[in-house]
Copies of this chain bind each other. A is one copy, B any other.
Amino acid sequence: MSEAPRDIENLIELMAKLPGLGPRSARRAVLHLIRKRGLLLAPLADAMHAVSVTARECITCGNVGTTEVCDICASEKRATGELCVVEDVADLWAMERAAVFKGRYHVLGGTLSALDAVGPEELRIPKLIARVADENITEVILALNATVDGQTTAHYIADELEGRCSVTSLAQGVPIGGELDYLDDGTISAALRARKSV
């Protein structure tokens, strides 16, 4: 791709590493950015720089924020005693958009996967078990995707926490094979309200 100047080639190559963008759409995006370099490219460069400096993972729950402990973990308004377990931060955001869960979260950072050799130690499962004891958690709500790996992970966690707290999972409304981040807020609300014991 030597047809553009080096600075621009470099930007295209980096943009092509974003999920959902290939080389062609990266080129289109970069040309769009150059056309709107005052209105969009410069602000985007600044916003990326700001986030690259400030963004970090919450040491307690794994949520993304700008402080050592995220806003949700730090908030005194959030209910203590229950944790909602999600696979990744996008799912946490989907739960927050539904605005029905008032407790705190725990972000696993993925699911158990024999195929990809992801075991409990690769996820935040040991930290989850520690939190259940340390924070006197009485209910863990598993809001994992309705995929095979998501459900395998749910059963593993339910087994690990047996006798330590009640473990429930989102139920009604989550379609088979569905991913939380694709669902509308109402579906997530219904699934949370109708949660059942695992």
Contact = CB atoms under 8 A, between A and B. Distances in A.
Interface of A: 1, 3-5, 7-8, 10-11, 14-15, 17-21, 24-25, 27-34, 37, 40-52, 54-55, 64-66, 71, 88-90, 92-93, 96-97, 181-182
Given A45-B49, A52-B45, A71 B5 contact: yes
Nearest to A92: B3
Interface of A is mostly: helix
Contacts of A48: 11, 33, 41-42, 44-45, 48
Contact of A37 (B7, B17, B44, B51): B51
**What is the copy number of this chain in the assembly?**
2
Given A3-B96, A19-B29, A14 B51 contact: no
Given A3-B96, A89-B31, A14 B52 contact: no
A43 B14 contact: yes
A136 to B, nearest CB: 26
Given A20-B29, A34-B51, A4 B181 contact: no
Contact of A4 (B29, B31, B93): B93
Contacts of A14: 40, 43-44, 47
Given A30-B51, A31-B64, 6 more contacts: A1-B97, A24-B182, A27-B93, A34-B51, A34-B64, A48-B48
